[in-house]
Amino acid sequence: MMDNKKWWKETVVYQIYPRSFQDSNGDGIGDLKGILNRLDYLEKLGIGAIWLSPVCKSPQDDNGYDISDYQDIDPMFGSLADMDALIQEAAKRNIKIVMDLVLNHTSDEHPWFVEAKKGKDNPYYDYYVWRDGEPGTPPNELGSIFGGSAWEYVPELGQYFLHLFSVKQPDLNWANPKVREEIYHMINWWIDRGVGGFRLDVIDLIAKEPDRLITGNGPKLHEYIQELSRLTFRRADLLTVGETWGATPEIAKLFSNPDGSEFSMVFQFEHIGLDEQPGKSKWDLAPLDFMKLKHVLSKWQTELKGEAWNSLFWNNHDLPRIVSRWGNDGEYRVESAKMLATLLHGMQGTPYVYQGEELGMTNVQYPIEEYRDIELLNLHKERTDQGYPQEEIMASIYTKGRDNARTPMQWDATAEAGFTTGTPWIRVNPNYTSINAEQELTEADSIFYHYQKLIQLRKEHEVIIYGDYELLFPEDAHIFAYTRTLDGETIIVLCNFYGEQVPYALPDSLTGEKELLIANYKDELPQYLLRPYEARMYRLKVNP
Ligand code: NOJ
């Protein structure tokens, strides 16, 4: 069955982390004008939308995920006029701008919170989540995702407020209809400015019930989201994607119901947790369980079919670089980056490319003083206080720290990778002299052009967008392979996930004459073998 056609199913989204993308004024921080100057590069890549991490006014305690004015741009990034210009210039290149909506919490410097703290009879008091408690004894054991208690005491009020993230990110009270009304008004204001969609930060937390220790997927969640969607998103043909760490396929089907009552799709993270110790945190490392990865990604492909829509991603601003994580950032960096891209882009769903992924940018290993991320720095302090060996703490940071994704975009081999003429807010990955966009644009077989081709193939072959998915070789411990079929057209994707050559044997139904659509080795082996990290995508010429 063909899914309902939608523009956001057929596009590829590029995520920009503005402070690390391109600085235009030499202050060491990326900005909107910098993005504008790089639109031609993005058009060349072929993407149809940009997800911009937050650019609204913010004290930057969590790099913009702590907003103090939803209807203004942080001066560090530019002005509203720059934002309007970006929307317009992007539109000329058929690129839509998807804004990041942080609706679970505001900054503690947002005027609503400044007012709220003034007293229980202040009209804004009930915009946040307050509970009684004695100093030193929080209302309950709820913890902040960034470490420590989720409750902070305000002596003037003799009460605690809830913050599921940093103490400078107080949680909004969605049970208050006034809060919801203000938010809808703000979203409609952005829709009227011409944005093409929204990514909704930790949206599955908004219906928390802290007294029952419920944070994610609270009982009223879908009621709130349906109201939100009805009063805002449904006015326009938008791409909306919810960030939902706790989603199962069943939950995702509610969020991404084809009736359009909630979001276009969600980011689910089941595959992202497959290299940590079960039941522990992301910092407690374990080798990737490859068989589970195959199982999990395949499950999402088949379970959402016709009932919801997948987002496809390896990377974002919270995750380490995929080539360092599940590829090989040494000898096979180019091959493995292309393999991972092929594996993902052949699947059903909307692919997201995170800035620098298309260049095969890698993780970094810095001394602790060079890191900037609040989550990472809190973790370092917490585990140091708990007596963990430094080596173990740093191994977790090198492997999982969010700053891996946040080092500046590597544009060229000049000072600071062409990111800034000043001093960058975070150190540039020293490998920029060999890994950078300028270099890749001159090499026909670069990772950049591989991504460009994958994006182009999606435009040319409807089967990649709407076709059925079937996993091949489910028991194979090295190969991730699958087919996509639509109206008698078949695509075969074959990926060797590891650094040793492996044999394979296609089922009889797939041995017919094939057209090679894309590969990461120049020549084709005559035998049925896949070389280290080899990836091949074929189209069957004669269908079974
Ligand atoms: C999820 C965002 O992706 C992350 O960067 C941020 O720290 C938290 N939400 C809090 O807003």
Q: Structure tokens of 334?
A: 């180019």
- Whether the CB of 313 sits within 6 Å of ligand 1: no
Dist. CA 416–CA 95, nearest whole Å: 28
Q: Structure tokens of 8?
A: 């956001």
Are 453 and 46 spatial neighbours (Cβ–Cβ below 8 Å)? no
Tens of pLDDT, residues 424-453: 999 999 999 999 999 999 999 999 999 999
Radius of gyration (Cα) for the chain, nearest Å?
A: 23
Q: Which of 23, 243, 357, 476 is catalytic?
A: 243
The verdict on 307 and 444 lying in the same domain is yes
Environment class of residue 486 by beta-carbon count within 10 Å: exposed (0-12), middle (13-18) or buried (19+)? middle
Query: Is residue 458, in this structure, part of any structural domain at all?
Result: no
Query: Is residue 44, in this structure, part of any structural domain at all?
Result: yes
The residue-averaged pLDDT of 138-162 equals 97
Quick one: pLDDT at residue 524? 87
Quick one: pLDDT at residue 525? 87
- Whether the CB of 128 sits within 6 Å of ligand 1: no
Q: Is the pLDDT of residue 543 over 60?
A: no
SS3 of residue 97 by DSSP: strand
Residue nearest atom 11 in ligand 1 by C-alpha distance: 65
Q: CA 290, 244, 360 angle in degrees (round to 5)? A: 50
Q: Which of 66, 201, 335, 375 is catalytic?
A: 201
Q: Is the pLDDT of residue 3 over 80?
A: no
The residue-averaged pLDDT of 337-364 equals 99
Quick one: pLDDT at residue 536? 98
Query: Is residue 483, in this structure, part of any structural domain at all?
Result: yes
**Residue 202 CA to ligand 1 centre (angstroms):** 7
Looking from the CA of residue 402, the nearest atom of ligand 1 is 5
Residue 137: domain span: 111-162
CATH number for the domain spanning 131: value is 3.90.400.10
**Residue 7 CA to ligand 1 centre (angstroms):** 27
Query: Is residue 171, in this structure, part of any structural domain at all?
Result: no
Which element (helix H / strand E) includes 470? strand 468-472
Tens of pLDDT, residues 360-373: 999 999 999 999 99
The residue-averaged pLDDT of 473-484 equals 98
Query: Is residue 169, in this structure, part of any structural domain at all?
Result: no
The verdict on 377 and 511 lying in the same domain is no
The verdict on 300 and 355 lying in the same domain is yes
CATH number for the domain spanning 528: value is 2.60.40.1180
**Residue 165 CA to ligand 1 centre (angstroms):** 8
SS3 of residue 251 by DSSP: helix
The confidence band for 326, taking pLDDT boundaries of 50, 70 and 90, is very high
**Residue that has been written with the tokens 């189209």 in this structure:** 539
Q: Structure tokens of 317?
A: 């601003």
Quick one: pLDDT at residue 62? 97
The verdict on 245 and 258 lying in the same domain is yes
Quick one: pLDDT at residue 542? 67
Residue at a domain's end among 449, 483, 512: 449
Residue 243: active-site member: yes
The verdict on 128 and 254 lying in the same domain is no
Dist. CA 406–CA 48, nearest whole Å: 23
Q: Which amino acid is at 23?
A: D
The verdict on 101 and 38 lying in the same domain is yes
Q: Which residue pairs from 214-221 have beta carbons closer than 8 angstroms and sit at least 24 positions apart in sequence?
A: 215/142, 215/164, 216/244, 216/245, 216/246, 217/246, 217/251, 220/174, 220/175
Query: Is residue 461, in this structure, part of any structural domain at all?
Result: no
User: 338, 355, 359, 337: which is closest to 440 by C-alpha?
Assistant: 359
The verdict on 185 and 157 lying in the same domain is no
Query: Is residue 92, in this structure, part of any structural domain at all?
Result: yes
Backbone CA torsion sign across 23, 25, 29, 31: negative
Helix and strand element counts for the chain (H, E)? 17, 20
Tens of pLDDT, residues 68-118: 999 999 999 999 999 999 999 999 999 999 999 999 999 999 999 999 999
- Whether the CB of 62 sits within 6 Å of ligand 1: yes
Q: Which amino acid is at 315?
A: N
SS3 of residue 135 by DSSP: coil
Q: How confident is the prediction for the chain on average, in pLDDT?
A: 97
Q: What is the DSSP letter of 317?
A: T
Quick one: pLDDT at residue 544? 47
Which residues, in sequence order, are CB contacts of 343 under 8 Å at separation 6+? 480, 493, 495, 497, 535
The verdict on 481 and 349 lying in the same domain is no
φ and ψ at 263, to 5 degrees? -115, 170
The verdict on 123 and 190 lying in the same domain is no
DSSP codes, 385-398: HTT--HHHHHHHHH
Are 76 and 63 spatial neighbours (Cβ–Cβ below 8 Å)? no
Length of the chain: 544
The residue-averaged pLDDT of 219-242 equals 97
The verdict on 400 and 322 lying in the same domain is no
* Count of other CB atoms within 10 angstroms of residue 440: 20
The verdict on 126 and 232 lying in the same domain is no
Domain count, the chain: 4
In this prediction, what percent of the chain has a pLDDT beyond 90?
A: 98
Decide: pTM greater than 0.75: yes
Ligand 1 pocket: which of 16, 55, 144, 165 to mutate (most atoms <8 Å of CB)?
165
The verdict on 412 and 513 lying in the same domain is no
Q: Is the pLDDT of residue 475 over 50?
A: yes
In this prediction, what percent of the chain has a pLDDT beyond 70?
A: 99
The confidence band for 2, taking pLDDT boundaries of 50, 70 and 90, is low
Query: Is residue 349, in this structure, part of any structural domain at all?
Result: yes
Tens of pLDDT, residues 42-74: 999 999 999 999 999 999 999 999 999 999 999
Q: Structure tokens of 536?
A: 């091949």
**Beta-bridge partner residues of 171:** 105
Looking from the CA of residue 318, the nearest atom of ligand 1 is 5
Quick one: pLDDT at residue 530? 97
**Beta-bridge partner residues of 69:** 57
The residue-averaged pLDDT of 395-414 equals 98
Quick one: pLDDT at residue 151? 98
Q: Structure tokens of 75?
A: 């001066």
Are 264 and 6 spatial neighbours (Cβ–Cβ below 8 Å)? yes
Dist. CA 303–CA 306, nearest whole Å: 8
CA atoms within 13 A on the CB side of 181: 4
